[in-house]
Structures are given as C-alpha cells and as structure tokens.
Amino acid sequence: MKVTVVGAGAVGASCAEYIAIKNFASEVVVLDIKEGYAEGKAMDLMQTASLNGFDTKITGTTGDYSKTAGSDIAVITSGIPRKPGMTREELIGINAGIVKSVSSSLIEHSPNAIIIVVSNPMDTMTYLVHKTTNLPKNRIIGMGGALDSARFKYRLAEALGAPISDVDGMVIGGHSDKGMVPLTRLATRNSVPVSEFISEERIEQVAADTKVGGATLTKLLGTSAWYAPGAAVSGLVQAIACDQKKIFPCSTLLEGEYGLNDLCIGAPVVLGKNGIEKIVEIELNDAEKAKLAESAEGVKKTNGLLEL
C-alpha cells in the first residue's frame, strides 16, 4: 500500500507520522514545493521508526511527482492555513490554484489513486477536484467531519465528565465555523442519549464549542491545528487501506441524498477499499434538515467563487 501526502507542513507531516505509527502502509511519500522540506521531514520521521516500532518507509521529494507514481491513496494538504480572525473560506484565492494543479499532477502519475482532500475551504476544494478531474465520485473524499466529530466527542466527554471512549457522536454538514451540524440528538454515552445526563442548554454549548473548534485552536496557536487533523486523515486512510467498511462523516458529492445536489458536503459514508462505498442516509428531524440545508447554501456560495 503506497500513500502520497502532498504538503509536508504541519498537517501533512502529522498525517504521515500517524499513518506510519499505525503500521499498515508499506510506503509513504511526502511531497512539497519548498526545497528539501519534505526530504527533511521524511528523514526526521524515519528516525522515529526504531523508537516507535514501525516498518513503513517514508521518503520525501521536492516536487518530483514521478516518486509518487502508483500511489493507492493520495492526500492533499498543500496550501495556506488560516491565521487568527480569518475564516477558512478566505483561503480560497490561493488554495484553489494549488489544489487544482496538485490533483492533476497526482492523477497523471497515479491514475487509480483515491484522493483525500484536506486543504481549506475543504468542501469547496473537494468539489473543485470533482469538477476538474474525471475521477468517479467514490474516489474523491473530503476530510472534515472525522475531525469535527472527534472535537464533538472531546467536548461531550468534558461536559459529561466521562471518558472519551464512553462517548459517541457525529458532525455532518460543511466544514466551516457556521456550517457544521453536530447531531446532538443522536449523541450517546455508552448507548444512552446524552440528554439523559446533561441539560439541553449544556448540549447546545457543546455544539457551539464544537463548531468553532478550529477557530479556537487557531487563536491559541497562531495557525490552524495539525495533530487531530493528521490523526483524522490517518483514520480515513487506514479504513480504505485495510478495507474496514467503517462509517465516517466525509465530504462527498451529493446527488439527491439528503435532498441536496451538485455540491460536496459532510455526510456519513462507508469507507473501504473502493473509497466511498456508500453514502448513508440517516433520518434527520426537521430542525436538523433545516440546519443542513443552510449549511449547504453556505458551501454553494463558496463554490460560486471558483473559476471553473
């Protein structure tokens, strides 16, 4: 199993590290345009192999896509991150050009690869890859919901005073400060609805904190987060590489599902060796449907800024 990660920055390196530590891929190639940067990150990571006990071979390259040839999965993390006070949508001007050229180079060298899009604004970047490549929809996956759901579980565990392993929950919708839809009604502590333990007011606070999870970290760090994003990507890569058939909320092209069309937005999907093997349509109540529709409007507005 060969995995390419484009962008050796904070998220790309974290993602390569988690993939290696989980020890399911034979090879990870990291590519960046900054001279020597990917080679340096790869060497540093390889020097953790004996310490962390993995056999994955990590190599780096400055812009040489021939080194990525024959990748089974390719992750796009190249592009600029936001600074405190910015929205993800403001990154579109620079990141659209980067994602378009990177996806085209990746496919030229790995025509069968499954592409995971991470660069922001992620739902729109995923849509861009759909619009500018001829890949089938199952092979284009946007990562956002897996991260947002991890943050939701963190906040739920905090509110419940429970271990995170006791908590389950999912966030669908757009990967944006306003567009996320944490499914509070379906969140559980060991199969029991969380509303049995905490007030509606507290649950609403958990949802609000979840939605600004990325912005909160950006304010603290001065740039956006990388550990949880890298771990979330590695979870998707592992589900595909190991044909796990796990459900994750991912940005995917909707064609009528959830009453939505012609956009990529977060919905639960089954991930296996073919990428997105099924879009799972869960029954939403009217309030959840309205939130998802509003989120879709926001994503479509950003998509409208693309020069296609």
Ligand X SMILES: O=C(O)C[C@H](O)C(=O)O
250 near ligand NAD, rule: CB under 6 A: no
44 labelled binding-site residue: no
45 near ligand NAD, rule: CB under 6 A: no
212 labelled binding-site residue: no
Which partner from the list ligand NAD, ligand X, none does 218 bind, CB cut-off 5 to 8 Å by kind? ligand X
* Annotated catalytic residue, options 175, 211, 291, 300: 175
How crowded is the C-beta side of 244, counted as CA atoms within 13 Å? 15
* 78, burial (CB in 10 Å: exposed 0-12, middle 13-18, buried 19+): buried
- Residue bearing tokens 């005073």: 161
- Residue bearing tokens 């012609």: 262
Q: CA separation (Å) from 110 to 5, 66, 79?
A: 13, 9, 21
Is 130 among the catalytic positions?
no
| Nearest C-alpha neighbor of 117 from the set 150, 78, 152, 148 | 78
61 near ligand X, rule: CB under 6 A: no
**Residue 167 β-bridge partners:** 189
Q: Residue from 5, 7, 29, 73 that binds ligand NAD (CB under 6 A)?
A: 7
Closer of 198 and 212 to ligand NAD (Cβ): 212
100 near ligand NAD, rule: CB under 6 A: no
Please name the residues in contact with 227: beta carbons below 8 A apart, sequence gap of 6 or more: 14
226 near ligand NAD, rule: CB under 6 A: yes
91 near ligand NAD, rule: CB under 6 A: yes
Q: Which residues are catalytic?
A: 175
Residue list, annotated binding site: 7-12, 32, 82, 88, 95, 118-120, 151
Residue list, annotated binding site for NAD(+): 7-12, 32, 95, 118-120
